[in-house]
Amino acid sequence: MRLTPQILPDPDAIGEVVAEIILDRISAKGDKPFLLGCPSGRTAVPVYDALAREAARGRDLSSLVIVMMDDYVVPDDGGRYRVVDTDLSYSCLGFALRDILAPIAAASKRSDTHAPSQVWTADPAAPEEYDTRIADAGGIDLFLLASGDSDGHVAFNQPGTSRHAKTHIVTLGEATRRDNMATFPEFTTLDMVPDTGVTVGVDTIARLSAEVVMILTGEHKQEAFARIARADAYDEEWPATIVTECRNPLLLVDRAAAAVTV
């Protein structure tokens, strides 16, 4: 299915729109948990900031469950993989705790509302169990997606990823690792970026999400926008095109990514 993009002025405008969608969906679910699929990094930060502002205004986000899409992994002493320590700036789990939940918690405290506290992440020792956990919970209510600048990775799914891929361990290609050098400035050389991760699969996203929002912002996303906007089905050479096969997809793009000047 080819998507019709909605072009908004800038990342903050996109953040406000997406936050309002999330709040509307949370309200519709009542007291039931609301599973929000989340990337770390720059793209969705305006959404997380907007959610914190809404919490400060008294909006109740206590039912929110943060479901992280990926993380870097390293081998433990027994040779099994574990996610990197959460105190590292590039830890995706650490990002969820510091940059998603903590600001919402602080805002909720100021407005005397309850804050969310749950963060899910895949266990790299048994990645396939993540799909089962998500399915058993009724699926992701809304998944926030982003695309790699130069290789179209979504989560850590690399070019060449099978359409049937579920949560798995992946070796990260050079393009993905270089993209992440821009996300985490402490990576000053490529060899500092971990080369292994755990990630939801493209099938996890498409099969287990009730709704998805692909966000593209900045001039560096112009190629990603062009590739996704002209796709009408999944192209394994640009995994972010999985958005075309998701239920209830929304493509939100700012003027810079869409190369619109007015």
* Phi, psi torsion values for 16, nearest 5 degrees: -65, -45
| CA dihedral of 205, 206, 207, 211, whole degrees rounded to 10 | 90
Q: Using DSSP, state whether 152 is helix, strand or coil.
A: coil
Tell me, what's the pLDDT at 1? 87
| Domain extents in the chain | 6-258
CATH architecture of residue range(s) 6-258: 3-Layer(aba) Sandwich (3.40)
Tell me, what's the pLDDT at 44? 98
Residues 224-241 pLDDT 10s: 999 999 999 999 999 999
Report how far residue 22's alpha carbon sits from residue 250's, in angstroms, rounded to the nearest whole number: 13
Report how far residue 41's alpha carbon sits from residue 155's, in angstroms, rounded to the nearest whole number: 11
The DSSP bridge pattern shows strands 118-120 and 249-254 to be unpaired
Tell me, what's the pLDDT at 184? 81
Report how far residue 147's alpha carbon sits from residue 225's, in angstroms, rounded to the nearest whole number: 9
- Model's pTM, two decimal places? 0.96
* Phi, psi torsion values for 224, nearest 5 degrees: -60, -45
Task: Output the tens digit of pLDDT for each of the chain's 262 residues.
Answer: 899 999 999 999 999 999 999 999 999 999 999 999 999 989 999 999 999 999 999 999 999 999 999 999 999 888 899 999 999 999 999 999 999 999 999 999 999 999 999 999 999 999 999 999 999 999 999 999 999 999 999 999 999 999 999 999 999 999 999 988 888 878 899 999 999 999 999 999 999 999 999 999 999 999 999 999 999 999 999 999 999 999 999 999 999 999 976 5
Tell me, what's the pLDDT at 79? 82
Specify burial of residue 97 (Cβ count, 10 A radius: 0-12, 13-18, 19+): middle
Tell me, what's the pLDDT at 261? 63
Contact 116, 63 (CB under 8 A): yes
Q: How many CA atoms lie within 13 A of 224 on its CB side?
A: 30
- 34-62 CB burial, b ≥16 within 10 A, e <16: bbbbbbbbebbbbbbbbbbebbbeebbbb
Tell me, what's the pLDDT at 183? 81
